[in-house]
Amino acid sequence: MESFGFSLEPVAPFRLDLTVWALRRRPENSIDRWDGLAYRRLLVVQKIPLEVEVVQTGPPDTPRLHATVTGIKIPPGAESFLVSTLTRMPGTNRDLAGFYGFVERHPKLNALATRFRGVKPPQFPTLFEALVNAVSCQQLSLVVGILLLNRLASAFGVPFSNQEEHPHAFPLPEELSALEPGALRPLGFSLRKAGAVAGKQVGQGELETLDNEAVVARLGKLRGIGRWSAEYVLPRGLGRLDVFPADDVGARNGLRGRLELPGALNYEAVRRSIAPWNAYGGLIYFHLLLKGLGEAGCL
């Protein structure tokens, strides 16, 4: 085995634990792993699986992260690739000073921001993974969606070694796009979802040049991607912090509880309710997710 390490200095404040939970969403997630001290994930660099372990070695106001990378072989350029990936995924370079200043004028938001101070908005390492997550979790419970993703990684992701208990990486686009939709049926994907997962091909660079509405329209042309999925991808795949996924039932319920509103909210009601805070819709979405995880006893 070969290994190397490097350090990152996130923009303060930063808490790895909260950020990892906002990324992994459920304790059953076997792709993004957290043991209470270290975050672990298998990432593929030049088709070589590398086990990455990240720990926080400094407090939230002077944060420092240390990453240890292990693999059978370390390919050239691995460190620069992983530094970039581990900056983007946990959002370590995102400065949220404007958000913290904003919520001081909004007591209901400020209580939430104070409780989860240090969380950063996480992103999946690739747009492809964000799209597959969206397809897997749409119209199902999040628990079932995470189970499908675990099965997908175990069946088609690159393993760290030939030992069965070792983790698998998230499948690469070429690994899934070559499959027939029927290959995913045994994992629990419906025929429609199976076709959508196997066929996700879209350029991240193309979408990054478009505004939010244009991204939703562009993604809506892909089979299996509707408004819910496209708005889910905006914060989690492209880092758009001004988007609150208004079709997300869990996010709606969390917003209704935070605002103490009577009755259920529909899409337009969510958009109206979030309008005064729209610039930070994605951040509010992640904070409400953590609130729900806290109530479920995960944090």
User: Residue 162: its pLDDT value, please?
Assistant: 58
Residue 191's CB is within 10 A of a number of other CB atoms, namely 11
* 6-12-286 Cα angle (round to 5): 100
d(CA 100, CA 119): 12
* CATH no., domain 127-238: 1.10.340.30
* Of the options 1.25.40, 3.30.1600, 1.10.620, 3.30.310, the CATH number for the domain spanning 2-92: 3.30.310
Q: Quote the tokens at residue 289.
A: 């997710």
Q: What is the pLDDT of residue 139?
A: 64
Q: Whole-angstrom Cα distance, residue 173 to residue 134?
A: 15
Domain boundaries, the chain: 2-92, 127-238
Q: For the chain, 299 residues long, give each residue's pLDDT as a single digit of tens.
A: 899 999 999 999 999 999 999 999 999 999 999 999 999 999 999 999 999 999 999 999 999 999 999 999 999 999 999 999 999 999 999 999 999 999 999 988 999 999 999 999 999 999 999 999 999 988 678 899 999 999 999 999 988 865 556 789 999 988 888 888 789 999 998 888 888 887 777 778 888 999 999 999 999 888 888 899 999 999 999 999 999 998 888 888 888 888 887 778 888 988 888 888 889 999 999 999 999 999 999 98
- E strands in the chain: 2-8, 33-34, 38-45, 48-56, 65-71
**Spatial distance between the Cα atoms of 19 and 56, rounded to a whole number of angstroms:** 11
DSSP assignment string, 57-110: -S-TTS--EEEEEEESS--TTHHHHHHHHHHHTTTTT---HHHHHHHTT-HHHH
Report the sign of the C-alpha dihedral through residues 165, 236, 26, 290, in that order: positive
The helix or strand, by DSSP H or E, that contains position 14, with its residue range, turns out to be none
Strand pairing partners for 71? Answer: 2
What angle, rounded to 10 degrees, do the helices at 267-274 and 249-259 form? 50
**Residue 64: its pLDDT value, please?**
98
